[in-house]
Structure 1
Amino acid sequence: MELLENEKKLFELVNELSITYFHKPFMHEVYFNNRLRTTGGRYIPSKKVIELNPKYIVEMEKEEMIGIIKHELCHYHLHIEGKGYKHGDRDFRQLLKETGSPRFCQPLPSAKKAYKHVYECTACKLLYKRVKRVNTQRYRCGRCGGKLIKKQQPV
C-alpha cells in the first residue's frame, strides 16, 4: 500500500471507512504516532483522537491497516454514543462482529523477536525458548519441577 503521506489523506480514509461501515462521519482527529510499538493503533477517549502506527502501512497489507482503523472506529463511535467502548464490553464485541473488525492486529514482521537462549528440563525434556537468560540455580521446570540446563543452539 502506498504510504499515506499526510494527515488529510489519512483523515479522508478514516472518514470513508466510518461512513461505509458505521454510517456515521468521523468528526475528530486522526494521525500517525511513530512511538507506537506493540499495537496497530489506539483511541484516546479524553481527546477523541485515533492514533495509528505507520509501520503497519509499510510492512503489512492494506487489509490489515483497514482492519486496525475499523477496530479503532468501534472504540470511537461507542464512546461518542455513551456505550461500552472498552475491549471487555458487550457493546464493543458486538460492534466488532457487525462491522467485521478484528479483535487484535497481527504482529509486525519486524517486531518478532528471535529467542537467544534454550533451556531443557532434565526430567521431562520440555524445551524453554527465551529471549533473556534464566537463572538455572533459582528456577525449575514449570511442568514437573525438574532441573533446567542450558542447551547449545545450532548456529
Structure 2
Amino acid sequence: MKQSELQKLVESISLEYFHRPFKHSASFNNRLRTTGGRYLLKSHNLEFNPKQLEVHGMESFIGIIKHELCHYHLHLLKKGYRHRDQDFKQLLQKVGGSRYCQMIPGQRREETIKYLYQCKVCGQTYPRKRKVNIKKYGCGKCRGKLILK
C-alpha cells in the first residue's frame, strides 16, 4: 500500500465511522516497533506501522486506524482523547476499533535477567537486568542486606 492509498483509506474510514472529515496527513513510519500507530498531538498527523499491515492483514490494520482516529477526533473536539478517558473508551467501542495491536514476531527483544539478588534475612529474591549497589540498597520487604547469587 502506498502513502496516497493510506491517506484515502484513513479519510474514508473517518467519514464512514466518525462522520467527520480527516483533514491532516496519514503516513507509514518504518521506525515504529512496539505500536501499531500513533497520533501526533501538535501536528494532528497519524503514523502507522507498515509491518502491522504486512503481518496481520487489512482487518487488523483497519482496527488500528479506527483507534488512532479516536485519538484524533476526540482531541480536536477537546474531549478525553487518552486511553484512560471514558470518552475514548466509549468511542472506541462504538466504532469497533482495536484496543491493542497484535505483536509482530521477532520485533521485541527477549529481556534477560543478568543479576539475581537475595535478601540474607527473609530470602526474598530480586531478578534484575542491571547491577544494583548492595551497599546502598537493601531488601524492600524487611530492610535486610542483599547478596548477589
TM-score interval, smaller chain: 0.7 to 0.9
5 Å-filtered alignment, 1:1-155, equals 4=1, 6-58=2-54, 60-62=55-57, 63-109=59-105, 110-122=107-119, 123-151=121-149
Q: Distance in 2 between matches of 1:34 and 1:26?
A: 22
Deviation at 1:114, TM superposition (A): 1.7
SS class of match (1:111) = coil
Q: What is the root-mean-square deviation in Å for CA atoms of aligned residues?
A: 2.8
Q: Distance in 2 between matches of 1:136 and 1:57?
A: 47
Q: Does the 8 A contact of 1:118 with 1:127 survive in 2?
A: no
Deviations 1:8-51 (A, max 9, x none): 22223323433443244433210112333443322123322101
Deviation at 1:64, TM superposition (A): 4.4
Distance 1:133 1:100, change over 3 A: farther
Q: Note the residue ranges of structure 2 that are not aligned, 5 or more in a row.
A: none
Q: Note the residue ranges of structure 1 that are not aligned, 5 or more in a row.
A: none
Distance 1:16 1:78, change over 3 A: same
Distance 1:146 1:108, change over 3 A: farther
Distance 1:120 1:35, change over 3 A: same
Distance 1:137 1:55, change over 3 A: farther
Deviation at 1:52, TM superposition (A): 1.6
Same amino acid, percent of matched pairs: 48
Deviation at 1:146, TM superposition (A): 3.3
Structure-1-length-normalised TM-score: 0.71
